[in-house]
Structure formats: structure tokens, C-alpha cells
Amino acid sequence: MKDTKSESGLRALKIRDDVIKELHYAKEKLKIESEYICANLDGSPITIPSILSMLRRAREKYKLEYITSYGLRHTFGNIQKHNGSDSYTVSKLMGHSSPRITEEHYYSEDEEMNDAAMDKIFDSLLKTANEKPNNNELPAKSD
């Protein structure tokens, strides 16, 4: 394994039991004997070059546009953000040393997200304005 940029890069991510069951089933079907949950056909651990090779073969097979492993990582971060995950959670999942890094890369430049935040502010202001009586209204005319 490659060293990480920071200590926060070393992390354990939970894998659901049903996903582990499917991975074990796939290993049995492919007759892979390995202590690793995800392994190459010969049972060795999956390495960065093997991941890049799998990615290249998938791109060719499904006629996908070129994307790097970094691009996939960036896509993961954006999907988490658009699904409503907060920057702290995304920063932990991605191994960033602080939420600030995540916010700089995924949250600050998002016009759609910024527009939605402004809409929430305006909706809240309008709701508040409609709930309170307007003291600036002129009294009703009396004849």
C-alpha cells in the first residue's frame, strides 16, 4: 500500500454485510482463494496498477469517456455532496485532513448548491414576513 498524504488518509470504511456477502460469492464463483475481500484472480491484493487496468478495460468495453482514478474520486465526492452529505462526513470518507479541504474542492464553487442555499434563505425570509403582521400598514379607512 502507498503512504497517504496525511494521517487522516488512513481510515477504515464500513462495508455492509450484504455487500461483503456478494463479494464472497463472486470470489467463490471465480474460484479465488484469498484472505482479501477484493483480490486479483491469483488471490493477490488489488494494486493501483490493477485498478487502472480494470478501469481501462471497463472504458473500452462500455465505450466510456476517459476518466482517471482521481476523476472517479472527485465524482464520489460530488455524488456525496449532491446527496446531501455534509462536508465533515465527506472529508472523513475521503481522508481529507480537514473539512476545509473538502469545502474548497467540492462545496465552494458549486453554483447550483449556492443558488439552492440562497433560495432557502429567501423562502425563510418570505415565510417569516408572511407570518408576522406588518406594522407599517396603513390603518383601514373609516367612513
User: Does residue 80 lie within any of the structural domains?
Assistant: yes
Hey, what long-range contacts does 139-142 have (CB within 8 A, 24 or more apart)?
none
Q: Is the pLDDT of residue 141 over 90?
A: no
- pTM greater than 0.85: no
Confidence bin at 32 (pLDDT 50/70/90):
very high
CB 13 within 8 A of CB 93: yes
Kindly report the average pLDDT of the chain as a whole number. 80
Query: Which residues lie below 8 Å from residue 26, measured CB to CB, with a gap of 6+?
Result: none
pLDDT tens digits, residue range 45-66?
Answer: 988 888 888 889 988 999 888 8
Range of the domain at 80: 68-130
Stronger pLDDT, 25 or 143, i.e. the higher one? 25
- Which residues are CB-neighbours of 11 under 8 A, at least 6 positions away? 92, 95
In a domain, 60, yes or no: no
The predicted-structure confidence for 63-98, as pLDDT tens digits, reads as follows 888 888 788 888 888 888 888 899 899 998 888 888
Q: Per the structure, how many domains does the chain have?
A: 1
Greater confidence, 67 or 113?
67
Rounded Cα distance between 52 and 46, Å, is 10
Report pLDDT for 138.
Answer: 46
Helix axes 69-82, 48-62, angle to 10 degrees: 80
Look at residue 113 and tell me if it is in a domain.
yes
